[in-house]
A and B are shown apart, each in its own frame.
Chain A
Amino acid sequence: GNSVTQMEGPVTLSEEAFLTINCTYTATGYPSLFWYVQYPGEGLQLLLKATKADDKGSNKGFEATYRKETTSFHLEKGSVQVSDSAVYFCALSDPLRGNNRLAFGKGNQVVVIP
């Protein structure tokens, strides 16, 4: 079945540091890939997406490239701000499944220290 794996543990870094959150996936078809962000006390917000191999999704300074050869969709940001502190979820949607249910990773808590 489809699944998403995110690196273990919270991520703590200083303001203006480089952020990477790893995400790998297992899928039977050709999934679309997403990053969602959950700010404290809020719901899930779509951050970016990519629908096919080598596509790059980007938004708010965050980027992720759909790598079919390594089945990965790592999230990166060159210079984080305190306001980026949140939980980040990688997810996939398999279009071969007509209902496009999303499969999520466990999420990574990111804490940015001033």
Chain B
Amino acid sequence: EPEVTQTPSHQVTQMGQEVILRCVPISNHLYFYWYRQILGQKVEFLVSFYNNEISEKSEIFDDQFSVERPDGSNFTLKIRSTKLEDSAMYFCALRASSTTDTQYFGPGTRLTVL
């Protein structure tokens, strides 16, 4: 199973602040995803990323969110102006290639917006 790390493990921020969550795949993957899990609720898809561009995004992924892979390694999720309802666990997931449909998840970042 591929290793995926996420940093930070826990982020506490004030409402209106910008946060950047990072995902670092240990091995080469082509497809990247962000999901979130609000406490006690379903894991929800946010966005998928392939070939350095967004390939699909959900209705949750509005203008406050952005993703990039600036150095060809780290995959980041930025929230420009956090809201209380952004408090959740954010999971990065990776898929190796188009010939597999299995996604492997990172340990998650717990974001708390005060």
Q: Give A contacts to B, CB under 8 Å.
A: 32, 34, 36, 42-46, 49, 51, 89, 91, 93, 95, 97-107
Determine the chain B residues whose CB is within 8 A of the CB of A97 once the complex forms. 56
Which B residues between 8 and 65 are near A, CB-CB below 8 angstroms? Answer: 31, 33, 35, 41-45, 48, 50, 55-56, 58
B42 & A102 in contact (Cβ 8 Å cutoff): no
Closest 5 CB pairs of A and B: A43-B107, A44-B105, A99-B48, A104-B43, A99-B56
Taking a contact as CB atoms under 8 Å apart, the answer to whether A32 and B42 are in contact is: no
In the complex, 10 of the A-B residue pairs with CB atoms within 8 angstroms, ordered by the A residue number, are A43-B106, A44-B43, A44-B93, A46-B102, A46-B105, A49-B102, A99-B31, A100-B48, A100-B103, A105-B42
Q: Give the most central of A32, A42, A49, A102: most B CB within 10 Å.
A: A102
Q: Kindly list 11 other residue pairs between chains A and B, CB separation below 8 angstroms, not including A43-B108, A49-B102.
A: A43-B6, A43-B105, A44-B43, A45-B105, A51-B101, A93-B101, A100-B48, A100-B101, A101-B45, A102-B33, A107-B43
A99 to chain B, nearest CB (A): 4
Q: Which positions in B face A, CB cutoff 8 Å?
A: 1, 6, 31, 33, 35, 41-45, 48, 50, 55-56, 58, 91, 93, 95, 101-108
How far, in whole Å, are A98 and B50 apart by their CA atoms in the complex? 11
Query: Is there contact, CB below 8 Å, between B91 and A43?
Result: yes
Q: Determine the chain A residues whose CB is within 8 A of the CB of B102 once the complex forms.
A: 34, 46, 49
In the complex, what distance in Å separates the CA atom of A64 from the CA atom of B45? 24
- In Å, the complex CA distance between A32 and B100 comes to 10
**Closest CB of chain A to B29's CB: distance in Å?**
13
Q: Which residues of A contact B106 (CB under 8 A)?
A: 43
Q: Which residues of A contact B42 (CB under 8 A)?
A: 104-107
| Minimum C-beta distance from A85 to chain B (A) | 17
Cross-interface CB contact of A100 among B6, B95, B104, cutoff 8 Å: B95
Q: B35: which of A32, A95, A102 is its contact (CB, 8 Å)?
A: A102
**Chain A residue with Cβ nearest B45:** A101
- In the bound complex, residues from chain A placing their C-beta under 8 Å from that of B33 are 101-102
Please give me the residue from chain B that is nearest to A51 by CB atom.
B101
Contact of A102 with B45 in the complex, beta carbons under 8 Å: yes
